[in-house]
Structure 1
Amino acid sequence: MIVIFALMITVVGLYSYHQQKTRLLDASKLRADQSVTDVGRAGEALQQIASGVEDIREMNGMIAAAATEQNKVVERINKNIHAIGEVSSQTLKGSSRTLEQSDDLIRVVERLGSSVNKFKS
């Protein structure tokens, strides 16, 4: 009877040990499945990040091209402003000469008028 009792205790112990190991294996399987799911999500997130980085690179290229074009436009505007300044300066010089010549003509006309008046008298 002692042998049977000892065998029963051994069987119960083995059964309990087996149940514990089964629970551990089930828990490990659940963790492994969750890890596979997490790795899949991480891969998707990395793909989205890589796609976002590529979009940013493309935008940087467009921004750089736009900035280059804007610089060219600013250079053209500066050249045109300089040219307008030169034309304005030349126009001012020309106007000054015209004014001087007009003054000279007025003096000549006044002298001619004086001379004509002398002949009339």
Structure 2
Amino acid sequence: MTRQLVYQRIRNRIVELLEWLIECENEPPQCGMNELINSWEDWVPTPSPKGYFVDQGFTPRQSVFLVNVSAAIEDFCEATPEPIENDAAAITLPQWRLVIAAAKPTLSAMKASTKMSEESDDRLER
């Protein structure tokens, strides 16, 4: 498996996670807020080192957006207990609104690019 293919898979997982974050704007995730945050941190280092995303093939614009989401999630985590015990209360926090506000333009920027294949180093059709 090539490094490019690994990066394409990571990119696709991040897009899915952004979609998941936005789906949970007003309703807690069915699997729980802890699982959602842990899933993000599985794919995105928090905090994200400078240049991390560009080195993986993200555009500079996407990289800035992803760093913003990562920072918003970090702030959200600072505002909540570990583990989060009340998902419904957590999504009412202003920090959660900032996560969603950061995630929406990031997802738009990510979807503006062609979807990446997970089987080859080729791009898929939109």
TM-score, normalised by the number of residues in structure 1: 0.20
Greater per-residue helix proportion:
1
TM-score, normalised by the number of residues in structure 2: 0.19
Higher RCO (Cα < 8 Å, 6 or more apart):
2
